[in-house]
A and B are shown apart, each in its own frame.
Chain A
Amino acid sequence: NAGVTQTPKFQVLKTGQSMTLQCAQDMNHEYMSWYRQDPGMGLRLIHYSVGAGITDQGEVPNGYNVSRSTTEDFPLRLLSAAPSQTSVYFCASRQGQGAAYEQYFGPGTRLTVT
């Protein structure tokens, strides 16, 4: 049971490039989400999904797209990278939406946009 996995661990992009951050979980969790972590700002929700085929925006969605074609995978796409998107990105999953379910984080992807 690998839990929540993310690839790549590190990435450097030039402004304007696009890329996809991969996230997968093998716990059959319904709920998955993407956060970005910036110094002094905690973890901010980018997008989330409550099940395959269902996604919605979080607090800071601009510049990012997501899709959820399977329960296991929840990729995050950067459409046209900007220096403001330099951050550490964490994917997370939970079995359900309510308070009974612990949220598990992936190991993170450190992205630098030059």
Chain B
Amino acid sequence: GENVEQHPSTLSVQEGDSAVIKCTYSDSASNYFPWYKQELGKRPQLIIDIRSNVGEKKDQRIAVTLNKTAKHFSLHITETQPEDSAVYFCAALRGGTSYGKLTFGQGTILTVHP
């Protein structure tokens, strides 16, 4: 089955700096890669996603890049703010007969210091 590795496990930045979180996946049939943000005590919520026919997608301060050849994708947050502090999860969805099963990375705890 699919395996998703996420790095780093913790990331500490100063307000205004950029943050980058990387994920690698094992199944070349995966075709959808969402990123979730989970604030303390809350549910994970989708912040951005990318499909395998696209190399990059941006939404204001966040962007996701995908390298299908190397089987990795990354989340980029620019001009970080204290409210960006949360746990971030990447995930991968296998196309075809995966029955919609998302495989998640282990999570990254991002702390933005004011």
Contact = CB atoms under 8 A, between A and B. Distances in A.
Interface of A: 31, 33, 35, 40-45, 48, 50, 56, 58-59, 90, 94, 96-99, 101-103, 105-108
Contact of A50 (B9, B51, B100): B100
Interface residues of B, number: 28
A103 to B, nearest CB: 6
A40 B43 contact: no
30 contacts: A33-B100, A33-B101, A40-B9, A41-B106, A42-B4, A42-B6, A42-B104, A42-B105, A43-B44, A43-B89, A43-B104, A44-B104, A45-B102, A45-B103, A48-B99, A48-B101, A50-B100, A56-B99, A58-B101, A90-B44, A94-B100, A97-B100, A98-B32, A98-B100, A102-B34, A102-B46, A102-B49, A103-B34, A107-B42, A108-B43
Contacts of A97: 98-100
User: Which residue, of B31, B103, B105, has the highest number of chain A Cβ atoms within 10 A?
Assistant: B103
Contacts of A90: 43-44
Interface of B: 1, 4, 6, 9, 31-32, 34, 42-46, 49, 51, 89, 91, 93, 95, 98-107
B75 to A, nearest CB: 15
Contact of B93 (A40, A42, A56, A99): A99
A89 to B, nearest CB: 11
Nearest to B50: A99
B43 A106 contact: yes
Contacts of A41: 106
A106 B42 CA distance: 9
A41 B32 CA distance: 21
A107 B105 CA distance: 20
